[in-house]
Structure 1
Amino acid sequence: MQNGLRSPWVDVSYEPTLYHFLGPFDVYDREHTVGVELGTWNMNDPVQRAALIRRDITSQYKELSYRHRHALVTVLAQALQDPDYDFRAILEHDPESTYALPALWDDMDDPRAFFADIYRLAQQDWRDDLARAAAEERAGR
């Protein structure tokens, strides 16, 4: 995705992926703290899932500008539009990686529902920012 944005963290092009949504849930080297706490949440319960998404994603991504949020949500929308997109693969544990999600997240009943909830809640919670970025995009800025 060529969006002309620079990363808010380092001076490189901002290329959002669905993994960006999972950053707050990375428990690598924090399994006994963050991992234990996140392990108490039932990711198959839509109410608990929504509360966690709001707590750790939509209310915490303040370092992202409205344009960064729009680019990130656009990537998610594209994935959700693809009926064959494998959301489960994003949650699978890779023992070679220095990135890890909480235990059992790779066994989530419906990973697509998790990402659909992220999309729905981002649309609600970031409504004004997303509308502003979309208007600028349409205007060719």
Structure 2
Amino acid sequence: MMLRNPFVDKDFEPNLMWFIGVFNVYDREETRGEELEVFDPDNQFDREILIVRYSLKLECLSYRHKFLLFEFLSEKLRDRSCDFQILFNIDDVYDSSWPRAEWYSLKDPRGFFEDVFRLASEEWKDDLHKASLEDQSTW
């Protein structure tokens, strides 16, 4: 048995875009875009608000999904060669856009995900603990 994706009938594959895809404002510039453009992702105070209020509010995901995402993020952070900036590079071919120019070239994209990890360990503490007590091979 494999954990399923909450939106499509496929196996759940952890991906770092789960943490930043919520900031895509394409075709929502007048709503989500205006809501998010007041935050600077390079500003530590703003970044924490963005992460807690948006990145980690993944109601569509179960505690098991969150556990797998958290473990995946941990693995990527341990990989010193992982290029986090590439996640913020949006090609014109895709229907995507960030709310502010700073998103396209963050000063410290790895630091952004380090903050996601730190804050997720606090915000998701109960879910992560619950999942850690289970045998993940049965998911």
TM over 0.5: yes
Q: Does 1:10 align with 2:44?
A: no
Note the alpha carbon deviations across 1:75-103, whole angstroms, 9 max, x for none: 11111111111101100121101222223
Which residue in the other structure is 2:88 paired with? 91
List alignment gaps of at least 5 residues for structure 1: none
Identify the residue that residue 67 of structure 2 maps to in structure 1. 70
* Structure 2 stretches lacking a partner, 5+ long: none
Q: Distance in 1 between matches of 2:96 and 2:2?
A: 27
RMSD: 1.6
Residue from 109, 112, 119 that aligns with 1:111:
109
SS at match of 2:122: helix
Match of 1:79 in 2: 76
Q: State the percentage of identical aligned residues.
A: 39
- What is the aligned counterpart of 1:27 among 20, 25, 28? 25
What is the deviation of 1:38?
A: 1.6
1:50-61 → structure 2 map (5 Å cutoff): 50-58=48-56, 60-61=57-58
TM-score by length of 2: 0.90
Q: Of 35, 38, 42, which residue of structure 1 is paired with 2:36? A: 38
Asked whether the 8 Å contact 1:94–1:100 carries over to 2, the reply is no
The number of residues matched between the two structures is: 137
* Match of residue 47 from structure 2: 49
